[in-house]
Structure 1
Amino acid sequence: MKAHKYCFYLYLLSLLILPIYITAIRGKPGVRDKGDWKPIKNIKDPYVKGMADFALFEFNKRSNFNLLFEGVLRGQTRDSNGTYYRLVVAAKNGAHTRNYRAVVFEQPWADLRKLIHLTSFIKH
């Protein structure tokens, strides 16, 4: 009888933890792949370069890296109470160049720009 009670409590616990786990693996709302991401047509636009520079600057402030901008390889935007910029940026850290995925959120009317995340994902 105790084994059944233990299994029942374990089952209830899993029902409580499962929604938390699913929420955690989905990531931040409004940033993942769901939604209307539109390709940036002109990745050489100085404004897009400014977003990439901002992402690297903020990342360098928070870490022990000194990433130097080399170029924006591709990017997408999404409007959601502001604009999300999802960029693939080539950057150099010492002698090594890597590609980084950066997501920056901007609300120009509120003078707000925020780095959501920046991660290395492919060697260049």
Structure 2
Amino acid sequence: MPSNCQLLLFIILILVPKSIFLELSLASSGETLVSDWRPIKNLSDTKVVDAAKFAVARHNFEAKTRLIFDDLVDGEVKSHSGTDYNLTIAARDDGDTDYDDTPRIYVAIVSHRQFQEFMRLDSFRGPV
């Protein structure tokens, strides 16, 4: 009768290579894995625009800035247990003393868990 260590080693040697092979075969066939970022086709979708506006408002709150949302320039989405947005946002800095009304580009990642009615700003960079 095999020991627990032998059984565990057997399982690792059988299952791990199969999962690696499956991921490699999906990647080489051009199929999208569930965790891959996909371009957002409709940038005017209210859910996406709301996520961008949330990102600016939350950044303003956390960083004590006065950015004004101007436009959603580009974006990607990733779905898993919720939705993650990787957004390129144009915003104007109302708190800038040399305020020239020129929008600057910022990049934000927002996590949205719709079933929990929860949105979180994971990162905000810029101007880039």
TM over 0.5: yes
Q: Taking structure 2 as the reference length, what is the TM-score of the superposition?
A: 0.65
Q: For the residues of structure 2 that align with 1:111 and 1:63, how far apart are their CA atoms?
A: 24
After TM superposition, the structure 1 = structure 2 runs for residues 91-110 of structure 1, keeping only pairs within 5 Å, are: 91-94=91-94, 95=99, 96-110=102-116
Greater fraction of residues in strand: 1
The residue that corresponds to 1:116 in the other structure is 122
Between the aligned residues of both structures, percent identity stands at 30
Q: For the residues of structure 1 that align with 2:80 and 2:127, how far apart are their CA atoms?
A: 26
The residue that corresponds to 2:75 in the other structure is 75
**Distance apart, 1:121 and its partner CA:** 4.1
The residue that corresponds to 2:86 in the other structure is 86
The residue that corresponds to 2:53 in the other structure is 53
1:60-103 Cα offsets, whole Å, 9 max, x none, are: 00112111011000000001211100000000003342100000
Q: For the residues of structure 2 that align with 1:46 and 1:110, how far apart are their CA atoms?
A: 18
**Structure showing greater Rg:** 2
Q: For the residues of structure 2 that align with 1:91 and 1:121, how far apart are their CA atoms?
A: 9
Partner SS, residue 126 of structure 2: strand
Q: For the residues of structure 2 that align with 1:109 and 1:86, how far apart are their CA atoms?
A: 20
Q: What is the identity, as a one-letter code, of the residue corresponding to 1:83? A: T
Q: How many residues align?
A: 88
Q: For the residues of structure 1 that align with 2:64 and 2:50, how far apart are their CA atoms?
A: 22
List 4+ stretches of structure 1 deviating above 4 A: none
Partner SS, residue 99 of structure 1: strand
